[in-house]
Amino acid sequence: MSDNEKYAQEIKDITKKHHEWMKNSINLIASENITSISVREALATDLSHRYAEGLPCHRLYEGCQYIDDIENLTVDLSKQLYNAEHANVQPISGVVANMGSFFALANHGDRMMALE
């Protein structure tokens, strides 16, 4: 076994230990929560390696037509779910997504709990 293969196996072993540890944990950090199998399957495809900057059909890069299809579908589903005229399903980052949730759900002066 070459050194590269040994390192690859060691990474696989550590990853397996991490997954076993996660199965027995309750993660209270929303941005680190476990995604569904459907999401993990989608992320295991080439879609997760594509830049899709911009809006559907107006991307900065070519080859995003299927990402556009998925984004359009999720926008439609979000509008239907929230009975909204408009929806944007593109979080810039976990922090921005969290702030959007805070601003949407909290009022000025509300108390928020944080775990340290």
The whole model's pTM is what?
0.61
More confident site: 18 or 92: 18
Q: Please give the average per-residue pLDDT across 42-52, as a whole number.
A: 87
Confidence of residue 116 (pLDDT cuts 50, 70, 90): low
The long-range contacts involving 98-102, CB below 8 angstroms and separated by at least 24 positions, are 98/30, 98/31
Structure confidence at residue 10 (pLDDT): 97
Q: Please give the average per-residue pLDDT across 22-41, as a whole number.
A: 84
Surface-to-core class of residue 97, CB atoms within 10 Å of its CB (0-12 exposed, 13-18 middle, 19+ buried): middle
pLDDT in tens, 56-75: 999 988 999 999 999 999 99
